[in-house]
Structure formats: structure tokens, C-alpha cells
Amino acid sequence: MLEGEEPEREESPGEGEEESEEPEEATEEEGEELGEEAGGAEGGGVVESEEYYRIMFPKGKEFRYVFTALANLLQETNFVIDTEGIKMKSIDPSKVSLIILNIPGSSLEEYSVTKELKVGISFDLVKKILKRIGARDKVELGVDMGKNKFFITIYTKKGKEGGFHRRFGIPIINIAEEEVPEPKLEYPVRVRMDMDAFLDIISAAGEISDSVKFVVDEDKFSIIAEGEGGKALETTYTSSDEVFYEYSVQGSHNSTYAIELLLDFVRPMRQVSDTVTIEFDNNKPLKLTMDFAIGSLQFYLAPRVA
């Protein structure tokens, strides 16, 4: 499933900067590229086909940051949207990480899906739309199978009753993805940790090295980074430290992982997840689970093998 060693990746622009929760305004050219149309209480605009399915997210914040985490690692993906909810399972282009998304329909404000839909989208355009979403906005996804289009509609916090909205239309694309089985791994390490503490340590390690080593036993958890010129960082917590909400470890274990992929994924999720559950074993994929208000994300990352 996940290959053993991570290739070098180019540095992401703005790495290390705090995410702004204020939406950005699209230029006229960007609005045209994104298929934007604005509307008011009187409606109008896009005419929906008979095969239009509506999904309303109660807060723009979850939609913005969860989809940003996906867009940071994936170029495109297929979403499976059925009567139970929204699901996604994709491997990143470098084939070293696997992301699994699950959003139950019952956790959403409106969910009118009555059959299974397979929706392929490119994140190139989605990333630009995400910046337009404010934390207190409401976001509606519309899947129009009759027109083969995927719509993202942004409302003010009052929702449809507030009148004004901005709607972006994206073509649904055909993506040939290999079937990805969900990993069946048993981990002797399961630690649920404060998200801020975890991200702060990984960010600090990233200033020293491009990889980080997790070393754990039944009494303590260490995160170690070693760089050039003798630079090193080691942070150690005891099992009873207040940063842990759960600490279950059998034996001693260690494994090394790429920092950049971790940061690309965890940074946006910090905005919507208070904790992260960390599972790993000697030279096995790292598994991170992040719950948020309306669903969960699982992130598997292949180990770096010396």
C-alpha cells in the first residue's frame, strides 16, 4: 500500500504561517475561473437538474480546514457520497501516505442524498474556493449529476435565510483510482495527545531536520529530530503528562517519518481538532486519527527506513 521511502518534495509556500480565518475576496478574473455567481434572497442563477443533491455544512470552518488538509496532499480524488454520508480514501501522488475521510450524513445540517454518487474533483480549483470561506459561514455542497457539476455555495452564518450567497461550479471529473484496501494493522502504541502540543513539537523539529523519530515505552514518549552540524532536538513526556488524554503502550517502539507531509496535513487540522490519536510500531506506517465536529480523518504515513 505505502512504499517505504519518501522522495524529496518542494517546500510549500507560506510554510509555518498561521492560517487566517478571514475569507479572501476573489478578483474578477478568479471569479470567472471558479465559475462564481452571487445571489440574493430572490434566488435565480443556476438552474438545477432533477438529479441535484444538497448537503449543508453547519459551519464553514470545518469544511475549509478539512478540505485544505486534503488539498495539501492530494491533486484529485473521488468522493463516495451515499445515504450514510461522505467518504473518501486516497493515496497521495508520492504513494507514501493514505488519507481516509468519513463524514456521517446525520452530523450535517441538511443531507438529501438518496443513492450512491461517485464524485471526482480536482483540488486545484477547490483550494482557491476554500480561501473564500469564513469560519462562521455556512457551506452547501451541491452535486448535480444531470449537469455533471459539483457546486460549493457559501452563505453568511444565517444560512439561506440570510439571503446573499456565492456559488462556485466545478466540473465533476472521471478519475481512475486503484481500489485501496483499508490497512489492517494492529498497533502496540496508542496515544491521544493535545493537538497544539503535538504540532508545536513537530514544527520545532522541522526547523532542524526533514524527518522526526518517535521513541516510546510504557513510561515515556520522546520525539527526536537530528539535523546537520550536530543540531538536535529531543522532547520527552512522561506517560502521566497532562498533554496526554490516553496513553496505552506495550513494550518499547521507535520509527522515523517525514516531517513535511505531517505538517502539511496537521497544520490545517489544528483549527478544528483539539486532539490527535497517534498509533505506530517499529518501521510500520504511522496512523493519526483526528476527530472534528462533524466527522473524522485518518492519516497513514509510511516510515522512513535507513
pLDDT for residue 296: 98
* Positions in the chain whose pLDDT score sits under 70: 1-46, 157-163, 306
267 closest CA partner among 206, 192, 205, 196:
196
Tally Cβ neighbours within 10 Å of residue 125.
19
pLDDT for residue 44: 47
pLDDT for residue 252: 98
37 closest CA partner among 148, 171, 154:
154
Q: What domains, with CATH codes, occur in the chain?
A: 52-171 (3.10.150.10), 189-276 (3.10.150.10)
pLDDT for residue 35: 53
pTM for this entry: 0.85
Sequence-separated (6 or more) residues with CB below 8 Å from residue 242: none
pLDDT for residue 49: 78
Largest CA distance in the chain: 66
- Residue 266 phi/psi, 5-degree rounding, is -80, -35
pLDDT for residue 160: 65
Dist CA 90 CA 112 (whole Å): 25
CB contact at 8 A, 116 and 107: no
Residues, the chain: 306
Dist CA 75 CA 77 (whole Å): 7
pLDDT for residue 120: 96
pLDDT for residue 2: 60
pLDDT for residue 282: 96
pLDDT for residue 183: 86
Helix (H) or strand (E) holding 63: helix 60-73
Q: What is the dihedral of CA 190, 61, 149, 42, to 10 degrees?
A: 150
